[in-house]
Structure 1
């Protein structure tokens, strides 16, 4: 059984037909992986199929039945004699009449492991990011985002893309319909932020600050108002745990508390229900 990989299933089928030089109706095909286009190159997958000629499958399936013996039927002396005779006969046959059997091509175990680690090494090498010039990064990101929203039905102004700081890109959506990108309880904002962050972080090694119709600004103001009495409580008691926070709020709270208390242990935690909150404590609590 041979494996073929291509961008689409049709191309993979054509490769199989060319390899076996027969009609596709004479082939048995197993699909290992369906192709995916991905988004902006992220999540792209090729089509992978395994193919064997139907006639070869019949020959491969015709295997002699193995003999099963009970433990009491086996005698060590008889077995040893049979092994010696078999070895002698095999040696003679190999010298006299070499037997050729048509066996499907199967990769050896060592080759499989070598290929596996070779892929891993290639993946690690591909993760090394060479930082481009700032103007080049802004141009590429702007072009990618514009192409994503060109054919949408939303009335959106020109999308702003600039550097917020050395390690963060600032992207802002404004316009008549920009608020529709936020969605109920911010679910569209979270999805858009997740997609853009994965693309920008993987390709350029940068963080993302996404503003949509002043949604981020309003969230920051709300969480800062909530944290004011919490900051006073931390100064008095030394520790604090926020209420469960959702999405971008937990990151805003984390940044504000770390700025306020650089000498304390400030981290995001998750409770048994999966809710996320920010914990502020002394550094010795981190070791415990």
Structure 2
């Protein structure tokens, strides 16, 4: 059997029928993995099947019958006709079973995708339901942290991941610390942190719009590990600033760029620290003296 991957089960079957030059109903296949669109790339899966044409088994039967003695030709023909009838009956039963199975699988997939789409609707609903940012002077950070924690747990329960910890507390007067952990926490981070960035962006837009606060999002130990790595990476840059009064980093991407900017501004509060773009559109950080007029 040949393994085939595609965006949907239908596309996988069409690819298989083209490869074997036969109709879809003439395929014998097994579903290895059902497809899933996921949410912002989280949990996205391709459809995977193993397939072969049903004619292979029929051709084998014909080949075996031809190799028998001439005196048995009529008996073999009768047996072959009977075998064809049985095969056709089995094919019809198999096709009906597959149709019913696909119907059930489609219902399950629709249910899972609906849950994931609901998570996006949840964010939109939370943001649109608040027309004004609460007064900063009367803000209760601990009360807000509890409220965000309850709503964030409700949101994450819509995603198909096993998460054991969702915790929110005040980090400083302008920031909420959010900790998410669990068996599937790595799936929320993604390759090179691209899922982490998407989730962080969504939560920030919600919390900042409703409460006027910043967030510090920690999923497993991702943020702490990134901060430690950047701190070590910036050591030569910091030494150059201390020696020559200025320096610049190599191009940095996404979360790493913002972590580096924060650390350098804390290290040199009296210096001008900002992003710049190179000719390839990549971001790097420059550290220099302020220009006074």
Q: TM-score, normalised by structure 2?
A: 0.54
Q: Which has the higher contact order (CA 8 A, sep 6+)?
A: 2
CA RMSD of aligned residues (A): 2.4
Deviation per CA, 1:118-171: give whole Å up to 9, x if none: xxxxx9xx5554233123211221121111111332111120111111111111
Residue from 140, 147, 154 that aligns with 1:133: 140
Aligned equivalent of 1:151: 158
Q: Residues 169 and 180 from structure 1, CA distance in 2 versus in 1: closer, same or farther, beyond 3 angstroms?
A: same
Alignment of 1:198-213 (within 5 A): 198-213=205-220
Q: TM-score, normalised by structure 1?
A: 0.55
Structure 1 segments (4+ residues) deviating >4 Å: 42-45
Aligned equivalent of 1:260: 267
Say if 1:160 and 1:173, in contact at 8 Å, map to a contact too.
yes
Taking the aligned partners of 1:141 and 1:174, their CA distance within structure 2 comes to 16
Measured after TM superposition, the shift of residue 178 of structure 1 is 0.8
Aligned equivalent of 1:232: 239
Say if 2:165 and 2:179, in contact at 8 Å, map to a contact too.
no
Unpaired stretches in structure 2, ≥5 consecutive residues: 1-119
Measured after TM superposition, the shift of residue 282 of structure 1 is 1.0
Unpaired stretches in structure 1, ≥5 consecutive residues: 1-35, 46-122
Q: Residues 41 and 271 from structure 1, CA distance in 2 versus in 1: closer, same or farther, beyond 3 angstroms?
A: farther
Say if 2:133 and 2:209, in contact at 8 Å, map to a contact too.
no
Say if 2:141 and 2:173, in contact at 8 Å, map to a contact too.
no
Task: Classify the secondary structure of the residue corresponding to 2:234.
Answer: helix
Measured after TM superposition, the shift of residue 40 of structure 1 is 4.0
Q: Which structure dedicates a bigger proportion of its chain to helix?
A: 2
Say if 1:37 and 1:44, in contact at 8 Å, map to a contact too.
no
